[in-house]
Structures are given as C-alpha cells and as structure tokens.
C-alpha cells in the first residue's frame, strides 16, 4: 500500500465547504453477532449492522457552518463528503458534537464529530 499526502483533502457538509485542517477517527464498526451453539467446537459469528463515525477539524466561519450548528441543535442531517488521497467518501450524517476554539494569535477552529446514518459510498477518484 503506497503512502499518500493528505494535503489535497476536502470536506463538505450540505452546502458548506469547510477549510479543512484534519480528518480523524474515521471509523467503521461492524457488529459481530454470536451464533455459537452447543453443537459447535469453536465460537461462530455473522456480520450484523455497521456504524460509522468521523471527526473533522476546520477553520470556523459562522456563515459557512450555520448548517452544522443548526443540525447539532435540532438533529438535522445533510450529505457529508470527504475527499482524501485518491478516494471519496459520501454519506448522510448528523453532527454529534461541535467544539469551537478561539485563542489569541490564531484562527477560530471547530472540531466537529459526526454520526453516519444509512450507507456510505466509497469511491476511487
């Protein structure tokens, strides 16, 4: 597997395009359902439902991120698109956490965590 630069990564949520600083904890969790019974010698499992979460850090702009804060307050969803390396991930998601940081001599930043609802599409660019 070849290394790829994250320099061209982008993020959008609805119509807002974030000035992306980082993507972290993009996690797909697959539930394992135990199907072991008394007649099996070893534990057996089948795949259950999956759940996906991710976190982005962006430079904050109220105008660009009004949709994110609104959805965090009322539970709304939008299409989220993450582009990094040679791939793109698109999904419907809602923000579960919005943390805004403002310190002297720096830009205003936000760390936003999302819960994906439904399926995700992963495509090569």
Domain 10-34+43-124 has CATH 2.30.110.20: yes
What are the DSSP E strand ranges found in 1-108? Answer: 10-13, 16-34, 45-59, 78-84, 87-101
Q: C-alpha 86: how far from its chain's center?
A: 17
The model's pTM: 0.84
Beta pairing class for 78-84 and 109-124:
unpaired
CB 55 within 8 A of CB 80: no
* pLDDT average, residue stretch 105-123: 92
Q: What is the pLDDT of residue 104?
A: 95
37-64 pLDDT tens trace: 999 899 999 999 999 999 999 988 877 7
Q: What is the pLDDT of residue 77?
A: 95
Q: What is the pLDDT of residue 5?
A: 66
Could you give the C-alpha distances from 7 to 4, 58, 90, 100, in angstroms and in order?
Answer: 9, 14, 19, 23
pLDDT band for position 124 (cuts 50, 70, 90): confident
Domain map (residue ranges) of the chain:
10-34+43-124
């Amino acid at each position: 597997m070849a290394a790829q630069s994250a320099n061209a990564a982008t993020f959008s949520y609805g119509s807002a395009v974030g000035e992306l600083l980082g993507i972290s904890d993009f996690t797909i969790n697959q539930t394992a359902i135990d199907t072991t019974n008394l007649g099996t010698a070893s534990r057996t499992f089948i795949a259950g439902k999956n759940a996906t979460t991710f976190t982005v850090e962006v430079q904050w702009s109220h105008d660009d991120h009004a949709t994110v804060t609104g959805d965090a307050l009322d539970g709304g969803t939008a299409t989220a698109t993450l582009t990094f390396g040679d791939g793109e991930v698109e999904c419907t998601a809602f923000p579960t956490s919005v943390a805004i940081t403002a310190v002297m001599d720096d830009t205003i930043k936000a760390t936003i965590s999302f819960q994906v609802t439904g399926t995700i599409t992963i495509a090569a660019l």
